[in-house]
Structure 1
Amino acid sequence: MAQSQTPASLTDLLKRLRDNTRGQQQVSIGDLLDAVGQRSFGPVVLIAGLLTLAPLIGDIPGVPTLLGLLVLLTLGQLLFQRPAIWIPSQLSNRQLARDKLENGLDWMDRPARFIDRWTSQRLTWLVRGPGRYLTALICMLVAAALPAMELVPFSANGGGLALTLFGIALVADDGLFALLGILFTGGTLWIVISGLMGL
């Protein structure tokens, strides 16, 4: 069942993902979108980042690329000011095993509680108004680089961390996390470019 409100915190996001997929053997990308709400651009970025970071999910070949495509489609619609998220059925119907999702969510629980204690509304010019669109563009740059990151060991984890930081920033209205995301983006892209040149 689709949610109408944006998750209030990272902990709330994980709870929604659990509650809305309980009892299923396979979970689709569409199910994840329904769990966080069709108007929730920030949580989609956060989900993509967390799943790229999560053991047994982000390590599956092709998953970072798939999640990068989801971010590109989602934030592209934010830039064009669509009121709700639309994704094609070929992407919406892609599935992963519910037990792998549950393991990833369990791994995220403690970090989520820690992060929620440290978020607050600050440097909001990075996540509101024109700054929001700048943050979206940088997220899209990270997402577009995820296929290349799959070729450089461990760099997809850096991309996932950058997307996670941007997602937290958008959900919590916390520009400090956006600033951290920008720093991690620069470092990760430098590692990827160096790694590809060495191949």
Structure 2
Amino acid sequence: MAQEPHNLQDLLDHIERAARKHDQVSLATVMEAVGTRSFGPLLLAAGLTTASPLSGIPGVSTAVGLMVLLIAMQLLCGEKEFWLPQWLMQRTIDHRKVSRAFEWIRPPARLIDGLLRPRLIALVRASGRYVIALVCAIIALGMPAMELVPFSATGAGLALTAFGLALVSRDGLLALAAFGFTTLTLGLVLQGLI
């Protein structure tokens, strides 16, 4: 079982080490790298994928949304280890695209890690985790529509990343910011669809 990442750079290291071993990086490879028992790292990995240039690949945002929805629902039902269907786990991306996306993500990751610390911990523990899971499920349900509104999937990815980071670093202040960013993103998507 993978050791749980403690910050954004640690998560990137886990995924990158696993990705180097394969020509095609599957969702199963990513989940194995970050572990299947913790919502925060999985949510963070999903958010980074959606916020990165990888979201420009048709269908990636929808696939990530489905993954987030399934994991959020399992958390809400009290599951201890997360499960995804095999067809979704076998979905792959070329390892060179993953490497390029990580080159883009690493500089801000160092900056972000320096800003995070445990605070307002009640917002990311117990019932706070369930509220975050519910909001993430709502984001996930909107992901297919976000493929139609330019750059909205990136906004959703940033919200998911912020929620994941908040859970990993136990930073409730970041969770509060993520709630606000989610409201803004979903509002822009609705406006773009009307």
Tell me the secondary structure at the aligned position of residue 20 of structure 1.
helix
Matches within 5 A, 1:168-183: 168-183=165-180
Query: What is the alpha-carbon distance in structure 2 between the residues aligned to residue 102 and residue 138 of structure 1?
Result: 30
Query: What is the alpha-carbon distance in structure 2 between the residues aligned to residue 105 and residue 40 of structure 1?
Result: 22
1:61 maps to 2:58: yes
Query: What is the alpha-carbon distance in structure 2 between the residues aligned to residue 111 and residue 101 of structure 1?
Result: 16
Query: What is the alpha-carbon distance in structure 2 between the residues aligned to residue 157 and residue 20 of structure 1?
Result: 24
Q: Taking every aligned residue pair, what percent have the same amino acid on both sides?
A: 48
Aligned-pair distance for 1:37? 0.8
Q: Which structure: greater helix fraction?
A: 2
Q: Which amino acid in 2 is paired with 1:140?
A: A
Structure 2: tracts of 5 or more residues without a match: none
Query: What's the TM-score once normalised by structure 2's chain length?
Result: 0.97
1:139 maps to 2:136: yes
Tell me the secondary structure at the aligned position of residue 96 of structure 1.
strand
Q: Counterpart in 1 of 2:190?
A: 193
Query: What is the alpha-carbon distance in structure 2 between the residues aligned to residue 10 and residue 125 of structure 1?
Result: 21
Q: Which amino acid in 2 is paired with 1:23?
A: K
Does the 8 Å CA contact 2:159/2:182 hold for their aligned counterparts?
A: yes
Root-mean-square deviation (CA), in Å? 0.9
Aligned-pair distance for 1:53? 1.1
Query: What's the TM-score once normalised by structure 1's chain length?
Result: 0.95
Matches within 5 A, 1:106-145: 106-145=103-142
1:15 maps to 2:21: no
Query: What is the alpha-carbon distance in structure 1 between the residues aligned to residue 123 and residue 67 of structure 2?
Result: 22
1:25 alignment partner, one of 10, 23, 32: 23
Query: What is the alpha-carbon distance in structure 2 between the residues aligned to residue 175 and residue 167 of structure 1?
Result: 11
Query: What is the alpha-carbon distance in structure 1 between the residues aligned to residue 21 and residue 42 of structure 2?
Result: 22
Q: Counterpart in 2 of 1:91?
A: 88
Query: What is the alpha-carbon distance in structure 2 between the residues aligned to residue 143 and residue 177 of structure 1?
Result: 20
Structure 1: tracts of 5 or more residues without a match: none
Matches within 5 A, 1:45-84: 45-55=43-53, 57-84=54-81
Aligned-pair distance for 1:126? 1.3
Count of residues in Structure 1 that have an aligned counterpart in Structure 2: 194
